Amino acid sequence: MKIKHITHLGVLAATIAFTSCENQKRQDNLATGLDSVSYALGLDMATKIAENFKNANNHAFVQGYRDAADSTNVKIQKEEINDILRTFFMKKQQEAMAQAQDTTGTLSVVAVNANTTSDLLTEADTVSYALGLDMSYRMKPNFKEVKDALFIQGYEEAADSLKVLLEVKDINDILTNYFKKKSEADALVQKEAGLQFLEANKNKEGVLTTDSGLQYIVVKEGSNNKPSATDNVTVHYHGTTPEGVVFDSSVDRGEPSSFGLNQVIKGWTEGLQLMGEGAKFKFFIPQELAYGANPRGGVIKPFMPLVFDVELIKINK
């Protein structure tokens, strides 16, 4: 007997901001790419739940999704969600393993959820509601433009072959193509914003610019002992986006870092060679001297320039 792996259904690649749409009229066509993606996301979630969570309460899921927009209405606190989902799906997986080891061939039957309301009467109801909350919370930061009414419509119509506006087999292509184009468009916007930031910054008092485009301010001069491109150095640094969001900081950790200058981004390799031991510089690193189109994730976006406050403590010989 094959064990079917139960996954945490709340984790998806996209994110959403939601407002109540109970009174929205049903949309009978998908006129734009955003329409199709919004609907496809709901349809995709409903399909995954139907496959892996047979006794889910779809009314509770939708209610949880809606309630996430208003903390005064939530029936489950945000910090409780992970424990609820992990405990439930771990138990489901253990049940599947036990059934796989059952040599009698007896198949367990999962009853359909009889609750036709969004009230949380059973564990399955609570888990369904938690999944709706989790979906909304995870989607909110990165995909604000999604059409909320169409997301819910796609979710609710997944089981109705007469109403459904998309075929399940097309979901992956729809989502992949849309988010690929969105990512490319967002990257172009970020690239232009980075260029504008550096253009304005270079004219500020104290800013110097190298031939490569690296910008820097000498905060404190150091000794005449400067590192080469292959030296190992010990530094304190504080890295932020142009907007001031911190992404890495040895200063905040309270412990300096050591590394080879041939093991870091080009802007660091060039910039540290301008510093003597004991110096403190502020660097404004163009994206082509940083991570370019392929950042390491987190708050660093494609084509984003980076800002670093750096103190060269010593050159390690």
Q: Which residues are catalytic?
A: 237, 247-248, 265, 291, 308
Concatenated DSSP letters for 201-255? Answer: HTTSTT-EE-TTS-EEEEEE---S----TT-EEEEEEEEE-TT--EEEEHHHHTS
Backbone angles phi, psi at 138, to 5 degrees: -75, -30
Establish how many alpha carbons lie within 13 A of residue 167's alpha carbon, considering only the half-sphere containing its beta carbon: 3
Q: Pick from 166, 215, 5: which is nearest to 97 by CA?
A: 5
Cα dihedral angle (21, 26, 31, 35), rounded to 10 degrees?
Answer: 40
d(CA 216, CA 202): 9
d(CA 250, CA 236): 6
d(CA 10, CA 120): 18
d(CA 296, CA 281): 24
Residue type at 177?
N
First-residue to last-residue Cα distance in the chain? 62
Establish how many alpha carbons lie within 13 A of residue 202's alpha carbon, considering only the half-sphere containing its beta carbon: 13
- Is the CB of residue 130 less than 8 Å from the CB of residue 76? yes
- Is the CB of residue 37 less than 8 Å from the CB of residue 171? no
- Is the CB of residue 97 less than 8 Å from the CB of residue 3? yes
